[in-house]
Structure 1
Amino acid sequence: MAFDFLVPVADKVLAHCELLPPQALGKKIYKHTKRDGLPVLALANIAIIGVNESRNAFEKKPEQLDVSAIRLEFYKLMMGNWNSSIVDLGDINAGQEVSDTYFVVKEIIAELLEENIIPIVIGPTQDITYPCYRAFDGLKKMINLVNIDSRFDFGDHEELISSHSYMSKIITDKPNNLFNFSNIGYQSYFNSQEEIDLMERLFFDAYRLGEVTSNIALIEPLLRNANIVSLDARAIRASEVGMLDNFSPNGFTGREICAIARYAGISDKVAVFGLFESENSRQSFQLMAQIIWYFIEGYNFRIQEVPYINKEDFTKYIVPTDSQELVFYKSNLTERWWVEVPSILDSYNKSEIAALLPCTKDDYVEATNQDIPERWFKAFKKGLN
């Protein structure tokens, strides 16, 4: 059983929990300990897992990421008004080969997915996204992956998998379960024109850092449709994490990245949340802990809304354009928007009905001005292929 490879939470973290006030998360989380073993998963909603594997780092890591220090900062935070049950399963240590570590990560996440438990995976390198993606193989469904990253991480297709090239492996590897890939916060000077062109050719979504920071609500529909969210901490500006060497002067602020994490948590489709590429500094540990807190905060505000099922809770808008008749739905409860994509069939219903693409009110307004939203066009084209 893959859970046998999990290492208990460090004694120093458990000792620190004894000093925390009763309202702190450290007092509320069920932990994997040497004395008591693994916590019971039956009622758990969220599971925290550390992965101590960095051999495929593009820039070699001078020291191991101190996941226990992130835990310490997270445990200090106060529990929100939450109904969710959180377990900390401890860490996965590096196997004899990197592929061994990947296998254990994949198997553990697959088991958690079967139990409807959302893993929050903390690791030193973003290539760990690959086994997270492979964990969905047994579910026989197409996957939407969203990366919050300054780079696309395609790399050279001939290069061995690394933290800068794992996306090429995800795109080309069989079985190919990837339906859509979206990047939030890319910075043009870190990406070759060939990579940018590839994103266009494959009808993937990419939003530059400036686009997102000028209107952060723009990316909420992307996250609403995501199954996996993988966050590269280097998308955050260096000053926010303690001026660490591998971080850039430009990037998201702490407030922006926490807002994005909350959107990811609110999405009722997000089943895996990964937090990678952090480095060792007190400020970085604190920010990573707060990102996790905001994801869980979002999770506790989840509302499952399906316009085809709860018809009375939605208003339907039909917008004729020169080339297409677009059908929009607006939730009367949350004021979120969706648009039908007739080239893709809906997964909620076996009948021949169009899938729904999360969108914004601005997309609806654009359509009324005879301007078809770009995300709709890409999804429509992808459904025809």
Structure 2
Amino acid sequence: MKDLSIYFSPLDAVENPLAESLGEFIVCHDDSGFPEIDKPGIALIYVPEFRNGMQELHGETDDRFREYLYAYFPGNYWNFKIYDLGNLMPGDRVEDTYFALRQVLAELVKKSVIPLIVGGTQDLTYAMYQGYEELEQMINVLNIDSKLDLGDPELPVGKDAYVSKLLMHRPCYLFNLSVIGYQTPLVKSSEIDLFEKLFFDAVRLGEFKSDFKIAEPLLRNTDLLSIDLQSVKDSDFKGKYFSQPNGFDNQDICQIARYAGISDKLTSVGLFNLLPGNIAESAHAEIGQIIWYFIDGYSQRVGDFPIGTKKDYTRFTVFLDEINHDLIFYRSNRSERWWMEVPYPPKEGVKYERHHMVPCDKSQYTNALNGDVPNLWWKTYQKLG
């Protein structure tokens, strides 16, 4: 494993932590040295990099969320390592910070350790994505955001303009992109049209509010989760740079974090746009709780399909006249979660039919019984072509 310590500055040692609190539980990078990353788990990283979105904040830090996180108590079954690697030091150029984060993510994922990145502007998502290039791994990205953050591919990457860089990056390792929580007044119709043409998933804030469970299958299909803290309404997240009148509330983000933690597929997560500037103590306490709920979800992973075997699942077959094809669904006998089988389009010279498994919910099976081709099936089939 590469020496990751060169990228980090240590933290002050936690003095007199509460008995049985996370302050006693977390393996911290302090004056005693950099942690030995010897077991799977979660690694907390703070990245105060703001130059591609909030240049005026360069050099500032605000990681009070650690005080709250360390004072919380671990949940049941937290029998894994939690590391706090300290603060990733910004480089001389933004590109240097990107490179460092890219290297750190790739090395941690190789070790089955989930990097949980806090701080910085959301363009750091692009650096995280580049880490998967090091792994040569196709991935799905999900953004929790009030906007789509496409931006102009001809312009530099920015905190609200980085998605186009993911799309244009070569080699391409992006299979699917999803956004949950976008607000129609903040999004151009041309951006929505592009998402539809690319068969990406975009869920409006109102749709999520009507049924928050809509997020679970999307999170179960995600490798990299990027959360924009500016998508939380300002009454729940107070600070100089947080002025969203409508948006997610704190409970919503904690629920999303828990779903993300439970997802067997997810291997990295970022909480971005924690912008220094009179951030309320309650906001830092909330970040601590978001992290707590993600960790608690991680503790409840069950190793569902496709990690498990099909014998642990109940199979359902629905024939649809419209596509002259059987739709195959699987329900886990352990978690009651659903998956849908999508075939690769036939190709000349390929003898055997291959399939791609997509997380779904029971409603897609019910719709198929009523003769409707699930939109998720159709979009996935198009991307596999």
TM-score of the two chains, using structure 1 as the length reference: 0.93
Tell me, yes or no, if the aligned pair for 1:10 and 1:68 is still in contact at 8 Å. Answer: no
Instruction: Describe the shift of the 1:237–1:217 C-alpha distance in structure 2 as closer, same or farther (beyond 3 A).
Output: same
Q: Name 2:280's counterpart in structure 1.
A: 281
Write the letter of the residue equivalent to 2:124.
Answer: I
Asked if 1 retains the 8 angstrom alpha-carbon contact of 2:344 and 2:353, the reply is no
1:290-369 correspondence to structure 2 within 5 Å: 290-306=289-305, 310-322=309-321, 323=323, 324-343=325-344, 352-369=353-370
Structure 1 residue 253 corresponds to structure 2 residue 254 = no
Residues 1:309 and 1:261: Cα distance change in structure 2 (over 3 Å): closer
2:319/2:326 contact within 8 Å kept: yes
State yes or no: 1:220 paired with 2:216.
Answer: yes
1:97 matched to 2:93? The reply is yes
The CA deviation at 1:60 is: 4.6
Secondary structure class of the residue paired with 1:119:
strand
The CA distance in 1 between the partners of 2:63 and 2:307, in whole Å, is 45
Give the partner amino acid of 1:340.
E
Is the 1:5–1:92 contact (alpha carbons within 8 Å) kept by the matching residues of 2? no
Q: Distance in 2 between matches of 1:65 and 1:371?
A: 53
Structure 2 CA distance, aligned partners of 1:237 and 1:199?
25
- Aligned alpha-carbon RMSD (Å): 1.8
Write out aligned runs for 1:155-170 (5 A): 155-170=151-166
| Identical counterparts, % of pairs | 40
Contact 2:49–2:58 under 8 Å retained in 1: no
Unaligned runs of 5+ in 1: 346-350
CA 1:53–1:238 in structure 2 vs 1: closer, same or farther (change >3 Å)? same
| Separation of aligned partners in 2, 1:262 and 1:193 | 32
Decide whether the 8 Å contact of 1:148 with 1:185 is kept in 2.
Answer: yes
Secondary structure of 2:235's aligned partner: helix
State yes or no: 1:178 paired with 2:174.
Answer: yes
Q: 1:12-27, aligned counterparts within 5 Å?
A: 14=13, 17-27=14-24
Corresponding residue of 1:348:
none
Q: Secondary structure at the match of 1:37?
A: coil
**Structure 1 residue 61 displacement after superposition:** 4.9
Q: d(CA) in 2 for partners of 1:103 and 1:19? A: 36
**Is the 8 Å Cα contact of residues 344 and 354 (structure 1) preserved in structure 2?**
no
- Classify the secondary structure of the residue corresponding to 1:211: helix
Structure 1 letter corresponding to 2:180: I
1:376: how far off? 1.4
What is the aligned length?
373
**Distance in 2 between the 1:220 and 1:183 partners?**
13
How far the C-alpha of 1:6 sits from its partner, in A, is: 3.2
Tell me the secondary structure at the aligned position of residue 214 of structure 2: helix
Partner SS, residue 147 of structure 1: strand
Aligned to 2:187: 191
Report if aligned partners of 1:46, 1:85 keep a CA contact under 8 Å in 2. Answer: yes
Q: Does 1:127 align with 2:123?
A: yes
Q: Quick one: which amino acid aligns to residue 27 of structure 1?
A: E
1-structure distance, mates of 2:62, 2:37: 22
Partner SS, residue 238 of structure 1: coil
User: Relative to 1, partners in 2 of residues 1:9 and 1:70: Cα closer, same or farther, differing over 3 Å?
Assistant: farther
- Is 1:46 equivalent to 2:47 in the alignment? no
In 2, Cα distance between the equivalents of 1:68 and 1:169?
28
- TM (norm. structure 2) is 0.93
Deviation at 1:4, TM superposition (A): 3.4
| CA-CA distance at 1:143 after TM superposition | 0.7
Whole-angstrom CA distance in 2 between matches of 1:372 and 1:18: 59
The verdict on how the C-alpha distance between 1:344 and 1:51 changes in structure 2, with shifts beyond 3 A counting, is farther
